[in-house]
């Protein structure tokens, strides 16, 4: 164990170098070309078995130990976001309108250098370690599901993954048994009224007024239809009616998101949304189009693996606290892996202690303390080795 941790310390500079290279050269979801090629080349130079184009653009590398045993999978995502970077840093994004604003560059660098260090110990390993490099986490339907369908979990006994989290202090590991991240769905609504002159509303059907009534009443689903002991969020993020100032709008487009942890509640909200929409539109003599798109399911951690990971992380010198966290309302397609095999997904704190505040994920000035990558690598690496040692 100690050899793994000290070797990772020595390789930290390479980890930072890789992360900064990837940060400067981001690629959007489903458009990744150079990033997966870079990842595959790195693993091939280590001598690992490499599959490219897994599920579309994914990369899977397999390290086979000197002796037979079980198989552990470790996952990192590598896509970026359509955001113009505003950070003034030497490794600022070179791609206009695209940046790594969620830490996936750090996830990738962590896993690559960890593979290098573990490969040097392969003569001591009984079993296999699979490195899953996933494309398109940021945009549903995501890359996890097609990669699983293409066999990335074949023969895998357990999977571990982490997210570097900038708002959480460096040195903290957050774990949670059961649901840790929410199902992330979206809805798209078009309300059709009848446009008219702003001075003669009685000759029109006001789509803006109808849409406003719907949005105003929307939260009554949460407050009156959802069990208060359960958690759910409905948010409207897009409300558009392109119209002159003196014209009553005949059309409004709405878009929003629903977050839940419970499948029955997910279905309830989907149905209640349309029932409310239908009622409001009928009362206003308007019509509607309604589309509800189910995104990623909730990320549900398995109890034994979560307890195991919690114990492992407490052995890392740089980890000051292991905290049982509240669930997050954000979505993550790591959920699909956990539907297939046991495992756990945890949070690695990445807020620099000198920062008063950290810019949130998906912000144009997002960044993280790069030392968090080392903590993540040590935790994932130790988890992989200890799992294989305890299972054989």
* 241-259 pLDDT tens trace: 999 999 999 999 999 999 9
What average pLDDT does the chain have? 97
362 is in an annotated binding site: yes
Kindly compute the dihedral angle of the four CA atoms of residues 111, 364, 326, 164, in this order, to the nearest 10 degrees: 20
Element holding 334 (H helix, E strand): helix 334-340
Q: Does residue 60 contact residue 131 with C-beta atoms inside 8 Å?
A: yes
Q: What is the pLDDT of residues 21-33, one digit of tens each?
A: 999 999 999 999 9
Q: What's the pLDDT score for residue 109?
A: 98
The domain locations on the chain are 2-180+298-391, 183-296
107 is in an annotated binding site: no
To the question of whether residue 14 is assigned a binding role by annotation, the answer is: no
Instruction: Spell out a b/e string for 343-355, using b for 16 or more CB atoms within 10 Å of the CB, else e.
Output: bbbbbbbbbeeee
Active-site pick, 27, 32, 77, 79: 79
Give the C-alpha separation, 86 to 325, whole Å: 31
Cβ neighbourhood burial of 200 (10 Å; 0-12, 13-18, 19+): exposed
Identical fold for domains 2-180+298-391 and 183-296, yes or no, is no
pLDDT bucket at 162, cuts 50 / 70 / 90 = very high
Which fold would CATH assign to domain 2-180+298-391? Aminopeptidase (3.40.630)
- pLDDT of the residue at 392: 64
Which residue of the set 137, 185, 332, 369 is catalytic? 137
pLDDT at 244: 95
Q: Quick check: is 240 catalytic?
A: no
Start-to-end C-alpha separation, the chain: 17
pLDDT tens, 50-72? 999 999 999 999 999 999 999 99
User: For position 1, what pLDDT does the model report?
Assistant: 67
User: What's the pLDDT band for 273 if we cut at 50, 70, 90?
Assistant: very high
Which has the closest alpha carbon to 136: 22, 28, 24, 47?
A: 28
Known catalytic residue at 137: yes
What topology does CATH give the domain 183-296?
Alpha-Beta Plaits (3.30.70)
Identify whether the C-beta of residue 91 lies closer than 8 Å to the C-beta of residue 23: yes
pLDDT surpasses 90 at 391? no
Q: Do 166 and 313 contact (CB within 8 A), yes or no?
A: no
Alpha carbon dihedral 113, 117, 118, 122, in 10-degree steps, equals 140
- pLDDT tens per residue, range 193-216: 999 999 999 999 999 999 999 999
Residue 102 marked as a ligand binder: yes
For residue 2, the model assigns a pLDDT of 72
Structure-block tokens of residue 291: 């589309």
The mean per-residue pLDDT over the stretch 170-192 comes to 98
Q: Give pLDDT, residue 60.
A: 98
Task: Report residue 361 as tokens.
Answer: 């994920």
């Amino acid at each position: 164990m100690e050899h793994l941790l000290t070797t990772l310390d020595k390789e930290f500079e390479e980890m930072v170098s890789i992360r900064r290279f990837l940060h400067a050269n981001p690629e959007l979801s489903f458009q990744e070309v150079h990033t997966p090629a870079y990842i595959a080349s790195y693993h091939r130079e280590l001598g690992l078995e490499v599959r490219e184009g897994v599920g579309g653009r994914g990369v899977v590398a397999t390290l086979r130990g000197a002796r037979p045993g079980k198989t552990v999978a470790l996952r990192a995502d590598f896509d970026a976001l359509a955001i113009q970077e505003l950070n003034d840093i030497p490794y600022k994004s070179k791609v206009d309108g695209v940046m790594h604003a969620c830490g996936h560059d750090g996830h990738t660098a962590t896993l690559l250098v960890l593979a290098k260090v573990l490969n040097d110990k392969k003569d001591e390993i009984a079993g296999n370690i699979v490195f899953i490099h996933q494309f398109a986490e940021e945009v549903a339907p995501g890359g996890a599901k097609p990669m699983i369908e293409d066999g990335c979990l074949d023969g895998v006994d357990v999977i571990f993954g982490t997210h570097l989290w900038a708002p959480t202090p460096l040195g903290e590991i957050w774990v949670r048994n059961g649901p840790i991240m929410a199902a992330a769905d979206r809805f798209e609504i078009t309300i059709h009224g009848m446009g008219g002159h702003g001075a003669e509303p009685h000759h029109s059907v006001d789509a803006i007024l109808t849409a406003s009534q719907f949005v105003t009443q929307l939260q009554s689903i949460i407050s009156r239809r959802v069990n208060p002991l359960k958690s759910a969020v409905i948010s409207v993020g897009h409300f558009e009616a392109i119209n002159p100032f003196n014209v009553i709008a005949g059309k409004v487009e709405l878009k929003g998101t629903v977050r839940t942890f419970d499948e029955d509640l997910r279905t309830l909200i989907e149905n209640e949304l349309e029932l409310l929409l239908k009622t409001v539109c009928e009362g206003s003599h308007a019509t509607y189009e309604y589309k509800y798109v189910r995104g990623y399911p909730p990320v549900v951690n398995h109890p034994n693996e979560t307890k195991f990971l919690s114990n492992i992380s407490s052995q890392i010198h740089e980890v000051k606290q292991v905290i049982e966290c509240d669930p997050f309302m954000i979505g993550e397609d790591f959920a699909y892996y956990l539907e297939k095999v046991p495992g756990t997904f945890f949070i690695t704190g990445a807020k620099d202690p000198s920062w008063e505040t950290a810019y949130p994920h998906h912000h144009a000035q997002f960044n993280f303390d790069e030392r968090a990558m080392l903590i993540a690598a040590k935790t994932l690496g130790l988890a992989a080795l200890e799992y294989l040692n305890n299972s054989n």
